[in-house]
Amino acid sequence: MSNEPDKLIKMENNPVRLLFNLTETAADSLKRAIIDGVVIADDDKIEQRINLCYGCSAFDKEQARCKLCGCVMKLKVRFDAAKCPAGKW
Ligand code: SF4
């Protein structure tokens, strides 16, 4: 499956995939906290990420969720170790 937003399959209704994505983000955040002591992204990074999401075709503005990973982006962008599934940030 391609991770290109234009070719996406809506993942937000797939609970197994959503659980996998949340677990991956939590594990990355824990690893980053242990290694660097950094958990929360700085304000500039949070703003840059959310602006990219708002301009992305995979962003569901009504639910503020990414259609690729199913995550609530107002939360996910705050975790420094979080990653965009399309590689945009
Ligand atoms: S996380 Fe990436 S793919 Fe998802 S809405 Fe944001 S920029 Fe688009």
Residue at 84 is within a domain: no
Residue at 82 is within a domain: no
Residue 5 phi/psi, 5° resolution?
-55, -35
Q: Is the CB of 11 under 6 A from ligand 1?
A: no
Pocket test for ligand 1, best of 11, 52, 57, 77 (most atoms within 8 A of CB): 52
Pocket test for ligand 1, best of 4, 8, 56 (most atoms within 8 A of CB): 56
pTM: 0.75
Yes or no: say if 67 and 14 are a contact pair by the CB < 8 Å rule. no
Domain that holds residue 67: 6-76
Helices H, strands E: what count in the chain?
A: 3, 2
Integer Cα distance of 11 and 18 in angstroms:
7
Residue at 23 is within a domain: yes
Residue at 43 is within a domain: yes
Confidence (pLDDT) at 8: 55
Averaged in consecutive runs of 10 residues, what is the pLDDT profile of the chain (89 residues)?
53 73 81 81 96 96 92 92 94
Total number of domains constituting the chain: 1
